[in-house]
């Protein structure tokens, strides 16, 4: 910046000197020309008056001597009287030098207008003026009395050449002296100006440097205060501004850290880092607002899956859901198709190091840090990072990220962001879990822990639609404990509850995990057999009947055995209305009771005498 300022001062000085030089030169030249022209006009006028007088007095032969005398005037180089054709015709050619010798003289004789010419060379400067002499009344003397010419006709011309070389040379000397004086003054002025502006220039340089750093997010440097005027005040205010801005950015960073719970990686540019943190905070806030309105944990899991895979670009890993009571884990979603952990962690959650320790697991710390990782040991090309997510005071989820070892440094940039999203997700997942537990409690029977009738009412439409869409068969078994009232009357309600729980357990163990057992009411149960082959429902019903019949029920004071009656119907074979099919299974159940109980009866159309459902 200082070089630019000095260069500008130098250019300014140079322009001042050049302008001064040309101004003086022009002024001297103009003055010389004006004086020469005036002198030439005076001489021409004297000659004109004298020649007129010579003519009137008849002594024109004396003109040559007169002209020689005029030539002796200082500065006069040449004087000539030029005759026009009209005068030559009347009085003759005259003297030899009275003929026109150049274009300008001929032009003046032709058009009658004064002409001037400057002949400027290195050694000399000559100013020539040619003044026309016309036939007219001049100072009381009528030229037409002597000359045979028309009024206003050009009779001749007076050519005067003035040597202004001396004036030119004097002007050059004066200009040179002035140039030297002005140059010295201007240089001296420029030197003192440079000294005067030096602290201001340095301040501007420092200001420019600090602003460049500020654009990169660095507000650490101060500008030295060199003067007591406005420049020093500006430096002081800029230092205070940078200090305040730096402190403000630090406070913003601290507040964001407090909100999200983590410090995001810094690039060294405070402005970009702050903008990035605020932008990420906004995204996290928007993410939380969205998942808070999602209807279930499954929907929240989809959001997490999208954020980690599509937004952050990770395509390997697993997100687990932990059942603290059972100490088991299940896969909520996978990033990619591959399984990266042994299935033992699903049955025993403590086999997962992140679950067992409750802290992050980073395979970069120690190779094979978690033996459950399938790529544990050897040069497999992959590392993994596992993050436990706490919900309700215990670990509710585990996020596992798997990445190529060549991206070891890159993972450091993403982990804080991932943790920020998981931190915002944790309370939402906790709330969704509690809501599911509460909902499940309203849909389950407290005695048997089986689903209740309300559960079926909620899933009936969806279930029937799925069966019809898959073109499959749903087996419906309506089961009733034979002579249950007698148990309550004989042994009491505690034994009755024991019988219901035992029968429920027997039914549950007799079917697949994908099937549903519902306590329909009292001693009655509804079994839904998912995707069975037509006619296979009777076989399952017979299996249940035999298993119940063969099981002893122990209670204080003795044991007893019970039987069940089962009605069977199949949806949509018997009807494409699911509630109608339930009714058909109930009709078959009552038919089994009529036939002596402890039987399985398949519904037939002949059993239904009522109207269509």
- Distance, in Å, from the CA atom of 174 to the CA atom of 19, rounded to the nearest integer, reads 15
99: its two tokens: 């003929």
Query: How many CB atoms are located within 10 Å of the residue 146 CB?
Result: 15
- Distance, in Å, from the CA atom of 253 to the CA atom of 75, rounded to the nearest integer, reads 90
- Distance, in Å, from the CA atom of 508 to the CA atom of 27, rounded to the nearest integer, reads 122
Query: Residue 152: left (phi > 0), alpha (psi -120 to 50), or beta?
Result: left
Q: What angle do CA 320, 323, 325 make, to 5 degrees?
A: 160
Q: Are 366 and 377 in contact (CB under 8 A)?
A: no
Q: Which residues of 523-532 are buried (b: 16+ CB within 10 A; e: fewer)?
A: bbbbbbbbeb
Catalytic residues: 523
Beta bridge partners of 391: 394
Evaluated on CA atoms 18, 20, 21, 25, the torsion sign reads positive
- Greatest Cα pair distance, the chain, in angstroms, is 184
Which ranges constitute the DSSP H helices of 92-163? 103-111
Long-range contact pairs involving 446-452 (C-beta distance under 8 Å, separation at least 24) = 447/497, 447/500, 447/501, 447/519, 448/500, 448/501, 448/504, 448/505, 448/519, 450/504, 450/508, 450/517, 450/518, 450/519, 450/525, 451/516, 451/517, 451/518, 451/519, 452/518, 452/519
| Local structure of 107: helix, strand or coil | helix
Evaluated on CA atoms 51, 57, 63, 67, the torsion sign reads negative
């Amino acid at each position: 910046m200082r070089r630019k300022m000095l260069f500008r001062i130098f250019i300014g000085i140079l322009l001042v000197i050049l302008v001064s030089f040309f101004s003086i030169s022009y002024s001297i030249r103009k003055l010389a020309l004006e004086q020469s022209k005036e002198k030439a006009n005076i001489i021409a006028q004297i000659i004109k008056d004298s020649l007129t007088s010579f003519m009137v007095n008849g002594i024109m032969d004396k003109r040559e001597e007169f002209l020689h005398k005029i030539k002796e005037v200082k500065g006069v180089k040449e004087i000539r009287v030029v005759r026009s054709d009209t005068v030559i015709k009347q009085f003759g050619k005259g003297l030899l030098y009275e003929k026109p010798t150049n274009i300008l003289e001929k032009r003046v004789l032709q058009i009658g207008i004064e002409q001037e010419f400057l002949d400027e060379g290195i050694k000399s400067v000559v100013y020539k003026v040619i003044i026309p002499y016309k036939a007219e009344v001049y100072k009381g003397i009528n030229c037409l009395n002597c000359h045979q010419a028309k009024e206003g006709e050009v009779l001749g011309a007076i050519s005067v050449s003035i040597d202004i070389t001396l004036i030119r040379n004097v002007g050059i000397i004066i200009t040179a002296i002035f140039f030297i004086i002005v140059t010295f003054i201007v240089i001296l002025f420029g030197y003192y100006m440079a000294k005067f502006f030096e602290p201001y220039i340095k301040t501007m340089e420092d200001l420019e440097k600090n602003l460049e750093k500020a654009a990169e997010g660095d507000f650490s440097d101060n500008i030295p205060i060199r003067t007591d005027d406005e420049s020093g005040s500006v430096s002081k205010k800029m230092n205070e501004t940078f200090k305040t801005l730096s402190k403000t950015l630090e406070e913003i960073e601290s507040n964001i850290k407090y909100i999200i719970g983590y410090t995001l990686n810094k690039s060294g540019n405070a402005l970009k880092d702050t903008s990035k943190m605020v932008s990420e905070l906004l995204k996290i806030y928007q993410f939380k607002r969205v998942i808070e309105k999602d209807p279930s944990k499954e929907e929240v899991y989809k959001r997490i899956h999208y954020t980690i895979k599509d937004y952050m670009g990770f395509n390997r890993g697993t997100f687990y859901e932990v059942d603290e009571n059972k100490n088991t884990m299940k896969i909520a979603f996978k990033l990619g198709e591959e399984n990266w952990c042994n299935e033992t962690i699903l049955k025993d959650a403590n086999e997962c190091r992140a679950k067992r320790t409750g802290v992050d697991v980073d395979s970069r710390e120690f190779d094979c840090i978690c033996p459950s990782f399938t790529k544990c040991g050897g040069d497999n090309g992959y590392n993994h990072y596992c993050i436990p997510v706490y919900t309700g005071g215990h670990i509710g989820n585990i996020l596992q990220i798997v990445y190529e070892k060549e991206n070891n440094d890159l993972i450091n940039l993403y982990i804080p962001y991932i943790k920020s999203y998981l931190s915002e997700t944790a309370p939402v997942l906790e709330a969704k879990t509690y809501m599911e537990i509460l909902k499940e409690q309203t849909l389950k029977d407290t005695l048997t822990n089986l689903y209740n009738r309300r559960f079926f009412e909620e899933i009936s439409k969806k279930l029937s639609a799925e069966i019809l869409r898959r073109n499959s068969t749903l087996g419906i078994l309506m089961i009733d404990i034979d002579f249950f009232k007698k148990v309550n009357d004989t042994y009491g309600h505690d034994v009755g509850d024991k019988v219901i729980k035992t029968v429920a357990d027997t039914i549950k163990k007799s079917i697949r995990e994908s099937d549903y057992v519902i306590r329909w009411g009292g001693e009655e149960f509804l079994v839904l057999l998912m995707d069975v082959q037509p006619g296979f429902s009777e076989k399952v019903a017979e299996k249940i009947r035999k298993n119940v019949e063969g099981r002893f029920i122990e209670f204080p004071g003795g044991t007893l055995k019970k039987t069940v009656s089962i009605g069977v119907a199949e949806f949509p074979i018997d009807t494409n209305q699911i509630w109608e099919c339930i009714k058909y299974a109930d009709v078959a159940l009552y038919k089994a009771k009529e036939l002596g109980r402890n039987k399985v009866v398949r519904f037939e159309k002949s059993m239904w005498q009522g109207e269509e459902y």
